[in-house]
Amino acid sequence: MDTEKPVTPTEEQLEILEYNFCKVNKHPDPTTLCLIAAETGLSEEQTLKWFKQRLAEWRKSEGLPSESGSVRD
């Protein structure tokens, strides 16, 4: 089903993604995700994928398991 090749966000898109990740929500709800996707010009799927990868990196840097368990940040 997923035929999209991975997209590397531009610097501007990354700034928006990072800002939302750090300042707004590491787990955006569908509405927020839709707004972030619209703002960056990426698809919701690409945006969600970026958040998942970023969250895994963040968890690793915090010394947490890469999969979210019962503990939410």
Q: What is the CATH number of the domain that holds 21?
A: 1.10.10.60
Structural domain that includes position 41: 11-60
CA distance 55 to 61: 10
Residue 40 domain-assigned (yes or no): yes
Mean pLDDT of 8-19: 95
Residue 2 domain-assigned (yes or no): no
Mean pLDDT of 27-33: 95
Residue 69 domain-assigned (yes or no): no
Helix axes 30-40, 44-61, angle to 10 degrees: 110
- pLDDT score for 73: 42
- Tally the domains of the chain: 1
pLDDT digits (tens, 9 = 90+) for 62-73: 898 766 554 544
Residue 17 domain-assigned (yes or no): yes
Residue 26 domain-assigned (yes or no): yes
Amino acid sitting at position 50:
W
- pLDDT score for 65: 76
